Amino acid sequence: MDSNNLKIHEQIKVVPQSSSSTQTTITPLTFFDIFWLKFHPVERVFFYTLPNSQSHPSFFFQEIVPNLKSSLSLTLQHFIPLAGKIVWPNDSSKPFIQFNPNEDDKGVSFLIGESDLDFNHVIENSPQDASFSRSLIPLLESTDSFASIISIQITLFPKSGFSIGISTHHAVLDGKSTTMFIKAWAYLCNKTIETLEESPTLLPKLEPLFNREIIKDPNELSVNFTNYWIHVMTQKFPNEKANNLEILPFEPKLKDYVRATFKLTREDLDKIKQKVLSKWEIFYPNESKPQMLSSFVITCAYLHVTIAKAMNGVDKEKEKFSFLFSVDCRARLEPPIPNNYFGNCVWVQFPDTQPLDFIKEDGVLLVAKCIHEKIMMIDEKGVLEGAKDCINKFISLTSEGYEVMGVAGSNRFGVYETDFGWGRPEKVEIVSIDRGLTIGLAESKDGNGGIEVGVVLNKDVMDLFSTLFLEGL
């Protein structure tokens, strides 16, 4: 963490309110979870503006922080596993989540700080130093014997506002679950401020379902993935134990890198859609063109083609690109599982693009067609078709020199609805996209059907990307 701009006031552990239960809670990990065991944490930051009086340090630390703290404790009552840790004892064939109420360091790490960065500058959309947002994200602890699940950082920008930075372990939560947890916390924070209720109840849609029995694993994928991680750790760190829970180091790219947010309005998306569909008829006269293309397909195709062209424009040797995206499987499993299932329920998909598709003149059409066809195939053959080969596919692409691009977040999460009682967020950012070649998606803040996209690129690539992005519209 770049602590130059950060003054730390307090770091505590927040525990579930009235965790009078002396029972240790064990929550198994499914194959969906174990797949992500070694991946970097997902890091998000929510920015909120405050009136001058409320963003004064004395008011903020005496009034607002206690509200956030007590409502977090209330929320954790409903989300007990999050206050625990991932552990992997020697006598267990695979890791699991454990909350032990008698442990001294149970609970969620909660850091309270103050930043001297210029708030209005940090929330700008135009390119700025990639490291700025990093100081607002808490560290998620992982050691050889345990891994924390979630950590939170509240940062005051005096006279302007504050941010909530949240770092989550990908083996316990996917994007939908993380968003649900944050919304539950915001809802209870609002409720306690409004009604001063001691322990208000959650809305049914925010009540998490932790039942792991409903995830079936007929192909023993969890054994497969566990063995894979044991193999990786033994190869990479021969002197360490194989059931080591340290997260692999996906270092953020910060030196000479900038972060920016780009907006695609509903009109922009319609324009790109029409362009793609009219070319579809010319390029593929014998195929019926789709009635519609989703905003997700169009955004991913447009953004990744523009990134590839910008990277290739700056460095001609970068010409082989591939793309992967995650699909929410809750409604796609047989039988479907409830929407409030809490854990990972996403699966990685590789559209069948060709290495040079992304830098061709009609790249947007070629890539959009591949993504659309992949989604059609998932609906036809099932979302876990070819699941066993997923990791090998990724490894072979990177070893063949492909730039593999990804996507984080979703325009369906409704992150801009997250109101803790001081208004909706001014901005929401997925900070962890700087750990790979990934774009961060969110719905448009103004709620008019557009999409916001976060991008972190090398400065020269970002300059060219910005030009190409606007030209394409």
The 10s digit of each residue's pLDDT in 218-259 is: 889 999 999 999 999 999 889 888 899 999 989 999 999 999
Q: For 273-287, 321-335, 383-397, which range has the lowest pLDDT when averaged over its residues?
A: 383-397
Arithmetic mean of pLDDT, 48-66: 96
Say whether 104 is catalytic: no
pLDDT at 2: 45
Tokens 């909660």 found at? 110
Q: Which of 170, 357, 372, 434 is catalytic?
A: 170
Identify whether residues 283 and 139 lie together within a single domain.
Answer: no
Question: Whole-prediction pTM value?
Answer: 0.97
Q: 292 in helix, strand or coil?
A: coil
Q: Quick check: is 375 in a domain? A: yes
pLDDT at 369 over 80: yes
Which one of 203, 236, 269 terminates a domain? 236
With contact defined as beta carbons under 8 Å apart, do 261 and 462 qualify? no
Arithmetic mean of pLDDT, 423-436: 98
pLDDT at 263 over 50: yes
Q: Quick check: is 250 in a domain? A: no
Who contacts 35 (Cβ-Cβ below 8 Å, separation ≥6)?
221, 225, 344, 348, 390, 391
Identify whether residues 66 and 203 lie together within a single domain.
Answer: yes
Q: Quick check: is 243 in a domain? A: no
Arithmetic mean of pLDDT, 386-398: 90
Question: If pLDDT is split at 50, 70 and 90, which confidence band does 192 have?
Answer: confident
Identify whether residues 165 and 262 lie together within a single domain.
Answer: no
Which one of 236, 267, 295 terminates a domain? 236
Q: Quick check: is 247 in a domain? A: no
Q: Quick check: is 245 in a domain? A: no
**What integer best gives the mean pLDDT of the chain?**
95
Q: Quick check: is 267 in a domain? A: yes
Identify whether residues 89 and 211 lie together within a single domain.
Answer: yes
With contact defined as beta carbons under 8 Å apart, do 177 and 183 qualify? no
> What is the percent of the chain with per-residue pLDDT over 90, rounded to a whole number?
90
Identify whether residues 104 and 157 lie together within a single domain.
Answer: yes
Q: Quick check: is 192 in a domain? A: yes
Say whether 121 is catalytic: no
In Å, what is the CA distance from 263 to each residue of 42, 260, 358, 440, 453? 22, 10, 21, 12, 6
Identify whether residues 195 and 71 lie together within a single domain.
Answer: yes
Whose CA is closest to 248, among 120, 142, 404? Answer: 142
Identify whether residues 185 and 309 lie together within a single domain.
Answer: no
Q: Quick check: is 249 in a domain? A: no
Q: Which domain holds residue 73?
A: 3-236
Who contacts 457 (Cβ-Cβ below 8 Å, separation ≥6)?
257, 258, 307, 310, 311, 465
pLDDT at 4: 62
CA dihedral 348, 351, 354, 355 (to 10 degrees): -30
Q: Which of 217, 362, 419, 463 is catalytic?
A: 419
Q: How far apart are CA 447 and CA 467, in angstroms?
A: 26
Structurally, the chain folds into a number of domains equal to 2
